[in-house]
Structure 1
Amino acid sequence: MPQQQTLQQPVSFSGIGLHSGNRVNMTLLPAAANSGIVFRRVDLDGGPEIEARAEHVVDTQRSTTLGKGALRIHTVEHVLAAFSGAGVFNAVIELDAPEPPIGDGSARQFAQLIREAGIFAQPDPIEPLRLSAPIELSLGDTQMAAFPHDSLKLTCTSADKGGRFTQFLALEVTPESWERELSHARTFGFLEEIEYLYRNGLIRGASLENAIIVRDDAVLTNEPLRYAEEFVRHKMLDIVGDLSLIGRPLQAHIVAVKPSHQGNTELARAILAQARKPLETAQTFSPPPTSLDKPAGKAESRPAKSSSTVTNSAPTETLVRDGATIETEGVMRLLPH
């Protein structure tokens, strides 16, 4: 089982925020074992924090936003991808603004910061999350699936709505292949989409310094493309960052067609839901609490509805276990009726 890792020392970086266009100061700090990745807003009283977990995703329009109460951190996927790609799952990210600096639109500068800080192996192990069965997700044009695998593998196809710039790539993701094959891929956008976002107060910091812009069939960039398939590689970079919200290494083969931040984070939730099933099943058949009284006036909570379709292809679990005690309601569920 691999060991948990954090940074050896703090490291800082300043740059422009993608959406605000304002200058952002960011410091990456070591963190204790089992603490996970945590964002801290040092510009706000008390330095409020948000844990980088799928349950805190509140918006996925063009980027991934985490929220906790009134607190928001936007565009978290690139810095999270850098940590996940390097195998670092414990760190604090201090910001004096509601988003990290965009850098050059890739994760290259974040990966470089992690190398400069150094990686420290902690004594506590970290158990990778392994799938027990395939998971499929359909969300508009986005099709995603996760299959059991002995490491993290990504197979991705990207294209715009008109089918332009269709690209395909498959990659086994390791710390070495992450930095070499994915971390340098820059974000990109189509001119018509960028104009709409700018009119609506977004991407005030976007420029050819931190994004590739596609106008009709022309690719506008301030330097040659870093990869022949830079668009699909950036989509895979985003997948690595969004799936890091699971909170531990993932062993799965992810197949994605036209992935999106919404699709990525929904898949992360579905993977976590599958991982929780054995525990929830065990709790179902645990002895009842000593007090059967329920608090008055409490309405039964129901899961939120989602527009996505998620299929978990796990085999049916055995509901009756040797030595288990089943109440009358449980028996009625098992009997044909």
Structure 2
Amino acid sequence: MSISGGIDLQQTTLAAEAVYNGIGLHSGREVHLLMKPAPADTGLVFIRTDIEGRPQIHATAANVTSTMRATTVEEHDCKVFTIEHLMSAFHALHIDNCYIEIDAEEPPVADGSSLAFFQALKAAGVRQLPAERKEIVIDKVYRIDDEEHKRFVMVLPYDGFRVSFTSLNPHKLIGVQYENFEVTPEVYEREIAPARTIAYEKEIEALRSMGLGLGGTLESVIVYNDEGWLNPLHFEDELVRHKILDVIGDLRLAGPIRGHVIAVASGHALNTSLAKKILENLG
């Protein structure tokens, strides 16, 4: 594996500030998000403005501490969770450096997709910086398996960024879904970003008893039961598209990647394990 300037030769940041406010999916708390330009080699850094000293949490695979229903990063005894949708938008827009000021433990859920984040960042604009871009060029196969549940995620050499995902769900409404995208900003905005989080109705009460999903509504989560969908779908195969959205966000914790991601029934645990493996190889 090597680090290269890639197709986009220079690092990037936002051209202006971007703001998005809303409710956290799991916490149910109001959240204010301010995304600000940052210098070269900063990376993507969360700043907890609700805590004295404004501690920083670098969005990197080395800082992942939990993957239960969402991806959590932690540093200096402070954490942010459910970051995968926001990270996915950064990845798709090739934004390398940003200060992400946040006054709660998780970003707003918006409508359960990454579209609001993508559009806010896109409206702010992307500016090049006078430093070479550090793209991770995959030069061999990296794979993480969950043999017990017959799941895996892998990345192999490819001149671009492509994701192929197979989702396996025993429910009659969903079943096997497959999608394959060459991920460009245009394709991402149209085909991936609008795909929302999905939940089974019987799971919701159990999640809430664990303090999760407290901010979820039919405006922010697609819910299904044994009879059908409780809200209209954006895509017939919205589940697998959201899985692709998630893996793009989780793998951004390794850095901007050039390669072909192939996954079967992968989730945050496998995704972030692959990101860690990629980072360890760079070390």
TM-score bucket of the superposed structures, by smaller chain: over 0.9
Q: 1:23 aligns with which of 30, 35, 40?
A: 30
CA shift for structure 1 position 217 = 4.4
Q: 1:57 aligns with which of 64, 74, 77?
A: 64
CA spacing shift, 1:274–1:161, aligned 2, 3 Å: farther
Q: For residue 114 of structure 1, what is the aligned residue in structure 2?
A: 121
Q: For residue 325 of structure 1, what is the aligned residue in structure 2?
A: none
Q: 1:246 aligns with which of 250, 254, 257?
A: 254
Q: For residue 296 of structure 1, what is the aligned residue in structure 2?
A: none
Q: 1:77 aligns with which of 60, 76, 84?
A: 84
Q: Any conservation in 2 of the 1:26–1:95 contact (CA below 8 Å)? A: yes
Which residues of 2 match residues 1-337 of structure 1 at below 5 A?
A: 1=5, 2=8, 3-139=10-146, 140-141=148-149, 142-161=151-170, 165=174, 166-221=176-231, 224-247=232-255, 249-276=256-283
Tell which has more relative contact order, 1 or 2 (C-alpha 8 A, sep 6+). Answer: 2
Q: For residue 301 of structure 1, what is the aligned residue in structure 2?
A: none
C-alpha separation in 2, matches of 1:164 and 1:237: 21
Larger radius of gyration: 1
C-alpha separation in 2, matches of 1:251 and 1:22: 36
Q: Any conservation in 2 of the 1:131–1:275 contact (CA below 8 Å)? A: no
C-alpha separation in 1, matches of 2:15 and 2:236: 35
Q: Any conservation in 2 of the 1:151–1:172 contact (CA below 8 Å)? A: yes
Pairwise CA RMSD = 1.4
C-alpha separation in 1, matches of 2:55 and 2:189: 31
C-alpha separation in 2, matches of 1:59 and 1:52: 13
Unaligned runs of 5+ in 2: none
CA spacing shift, 1:161–1:270, aligned 2, 3 Å: farther
CA shift for structure 1 position 216 = 1.5
The percent of aligned pairs where both chains have the same amino acid is 38
Letter in 2 for 1:210: S
More strand by share: 2
